[in-house]
Copies of this chain bind each other. A is one copy, B any other.
Amino acid sequence: MTAQAGQPVRLFKKVAVIGAGLIGSSLLRVVKERGVATSASAYDASDAVRNRLRELAICDTVSDTAREAVEGADLVVLAVPVGACGTVAAIIGKHLRAGAIVTDVGSVKGSVAADVAPYIPENAAFVPGHPIAGAERSGPDAGRGDLFANRWWILTPLDTSPLDAVDKLGRFVEAIGAELEIMDTEHHDMVLAITSHIPHLIAYNIVGTAADLESVTKSEVIKFSAGGFRDFTRIAASDPTMWRDVFLNNREAVLEMLTRFSEDLTGLRKAIRLGDGEMLHKLFSRTRKIRREIIESGQEVAAPDFGRDQGAASGDAKAEG
């Protein structure tokens, strides 16, 4: 609110966003709303998305090539799936203007750093980044100007990232309403493996398991999903390509965290088999506290049931009759 209400902070002359899905289109919206750049251009590999972008009018120019989009840009944001960052960098690298800052928004930083850095010329800067924000919807219509508000945006500078570029990108992150965090790529990938990648993996997994049962029909799973299952389907509805790329590119950290998860699950299975109520009660009491801490930290709503039945009622397919 502060940045919107006051004088706009024009940090860049031209921001180019490559990839206009949920994240890219949200970024275009907030850049426009908050006036942090004089102009914004966008490119997306899909004809349909480019056409839709023109209709939405959330940026000044929709380019027909990535090369055209980045021409003259002093900030270039790669908002494509993790596995596509290297390809895009190879295309745009030679066309970056001197002094341009390049960043990305991928959920894996080690592989993106390795894939992109070789294509960035010496007179430009590359600072990998990752906003911890998202939703289960994809595409340019799903974007929202407030998607990053009050959310962490992690930058993982490389040894080759110039300090002034890191500093300027940090100010950009704050100007669009996000909270800045700096860490190294390796630690980022470990933190995200447990806070995001494993949760998505087990959500995808249980939804798949439930759909394949013979003893319980899929329609029963759907019908009685309010018992807990439906919570998992939200993140299991995330973009398949983006998530395929995350798992292929953060393999080591994901496999390590998955080992921990499976070890603990084996312990729980044993407690159930042996009827060890004390062990179960102890774990279930500990985990309750963590949600309270997340709510206190401002990263979750305090309303019960995520506030589902209050404000979200308008989006409800079946209202109480």
Contacts and interface: CB of A to CB of B under 8 A. Distances in A.
A152 B226 contact: yes
A240 B294 contact: no
Contacts of A199: 206, 227-229, 231-232
Nearest to A284: B240
Nearest to A268: B205
A297 B310 CA distance: 18
B318 A298 contact: yes
Nearest to A220: B191
A275 B198 CA distance: 16
B226 A151 contact: yes
A275 B248 CA distance: 6
A311 to B, nearest CB: 1
B297 A222 contact: yes
A57 interface: no
B223 A200 contact: no
A154 B220 CA distance: 12
Contacts of A218: 290
A205 B265 contact: yes
Interface stretch (A42-50, A133-141, A160-168): A133-141
A302 B204 CA distance: 19
Given A225-B294, A262-B265, A306 B234 contact: yes
A260 B213 contact: yes
Interface residues of A, number: 126
A195 interface: yes
B224 A248 contact: no
Given A202-B202, A202-B265, A234 B291 contact: yes
Interface string A194-225: 11111111111111111111011010111111
Given A234-B291, A300-B225, A215 B190 contact: yes
15 contacts: A190-B215, A201-B268, A204-B283, A205-B264, A209-B257, A213-B260, A222-B290, A234-B291, A234-B306, A236-B284, A236-B288, A237-B288, A251-B272, A296-B317, A301-B308
Interface of A: 1-2, 107, 132-137, 142, 146, 149-152, 154, 177, 181, 190-192, 194-213, 215-216, 218, 220-238, 240-241, 243-245, 247-248, 251, 254-255, 257-258, 260-262, 264-265, 268-269, 272-273, 275, 277, 280-281, 283-288, 290-321
